[in-house]
Amino acid sequence: MDIDETFKELCNIKHAKLEREIILKDSKICVQLESIRAEILLRSEAAETALNLKTSDMDKRLHVLNELRAEVMRDRELLLRKDSYDAKVAYYDRFVSDASQALTRMETRYEGRITFATVLSSFSAIIAVLAVVVPWLIHR
């Protein structure tokens, strides 16, 4: 064998060895790429699952808030406005004042003919009427 052939043979051996190393490195890179792809896919699926859970949680919260809003609106309908309340209280104050004045007029007109029991029963009747009328007007 001459030197050129020996050199060519050594170069071929070296080249084959380098090709095997390159193929080995390529296969390692392919394995790493596959593991990276698998990890990316796994993370993507986990993110999608987390997003679905979060969306479901938000839907539940929104549903609860809508129910609460509907309940508040129903309760608001039961409340009495302040101006309406003030008008009814003023009406009852006038009613009690008028009844008191009428009672006083009756006492002075009959000059002692009205007994204490009559006054007490009249006042009780007024209170009984108020006890029925006030709740009815307030919740009307």
CA distance 26 to 126: 104
pLDDT for the residue numbered 116 = 67
In three-state secondary structure terms, 1 is coil
Mark whether 2 and 68 lie in a shared domain. Answer: yes
pLDDT for the residue numbered 75 = 85
Using CA atoms, how far residue 10 sits from 1, 14, 17, 20, in Å, is: 12, 6, 10, 15
pLDDT for the residue numbered 114 = 57
End residue of a domain, out of 49, 79, 109: 79
pLDDT for the residue numbered 115 = 66
pLDDT for the residue numbered 48 = 92
Which residues are CB-contacts of 6 (< 8 A; sequence separation ≥ 6)? none
pLDDT tens-digit map of 13-71: 777 777 777 777 777 777 777 888 888 889 889 989 999 999 999 999 999 999 999 99
Residue 110 pLDDT > 90, yes or no?
A: no
Residue 136 pLDDT > 60, yes or no?
A: yes
CA distance 61 to 121: 59
> Which residue range forms the structural domain that includes residue 125?
80-140
End residue of a domain, out of 79, 103, 129: 79
End residue of a domain, out of 79, 105, 122: 79
pTM of the model: 0.39
Q: Is the pLDDT higher at 54 or at 1? A: 54
**Confidence label for 133 from pLDDT (cuts 50, 70 and 90):** confident
Mark whether 8 and 54 lie in a shared domain. Answer: yes
| Helix, strand, coil content of the chain in percent (nearest 5) | 90, 0, 10
**Are 85 and 134 in contact, with CB atoms under 8 Å apart?**
no
